[in-house]
Amino acid sequence: MTTIALVPDALRADVETLWDYHNMHHVVRPSDVGIGLGSHDLGVATCAADLYQQGMFPVIVFTGANAPTTVSRFPRGEAVHYKEHAIELGVPEDAILVEPRAANTGENFTYTRNLLKQHGVAVRSAVVISRPYQQRRAYATCKKLWPELEVTCASLPLSLDDYVTSIGDVDRVINMLVGDTQRIIEYARRGFAIEQPYPDEVAAAFQRLVAAGFTSRLV
């Protein structure tokens, strides 16, 4: 019998607060390119394929090398495996570009911008596709490094419980949420991203989850 991963009731309100905060709640609209950010989550490639087939963009860039948490799952690199998955889902190979070197979100955008320029692809707008809890950080990073780009954020439309079940590891998801929340503040301070609103209820939820021991993804 399979055990379904669930957020503990004692933590649910705070985890839901962070989950909602990182969702930019953008309405996806047709754009010049889809940019799929590499990670451990193959759902990024699934979302990119879905949006491509809806006609939201004519070309996809998958960007990402490997992190210690992804090298065993994606031994040929995150972007390469994303491309293969999107092709399996019906995206034509010639509609996909692969950027295989980026090791962080800043490099995702810097290297993608250079790749599109090399291929002569004029870009004024993009749909940035990421894990659900990475949307806000991806947006803030992109607008810092590529400020003229019109950015819409997207992820697979999953509830918190559905996402946790898809990953199969409650602690990992909560730790990632906590880590990304810290990065919203810390990366803006370091000049890696633009500042974002940081409501009191988000700060309080973050502090309680840190106190509860979810610290493995803090910088």
pLDDT in tens, 173-201: 999 999 999 999 999 999 999 999 999 99
pLDDT in tens, 62-93: 999 987 777 777 888 899 999 999 999 999 99
pLDDT band at 110 (very low <50, low <70, confident <90, very high): very high
Structure confidence by residue, pLDDT tens digits, 31-64: 999 999 998 889 999 999 999 999 999 999 999 9
pLDDT given at position 70? 77
Terminal alpha carbon distance of the chain: 37
Contact 45, 74 (CB under 8 A): no
- Closest CA relative to residue 176, chosen from 75, 69, 34: 69
Please state, in angstroms and rounded to a whole number, the distance separating the CA atoms of residues 189 and 182: 11
Cβ contacts of 51 within 8 Å, gap of 6 or more: 28, 34, 57, 127, 129, 154
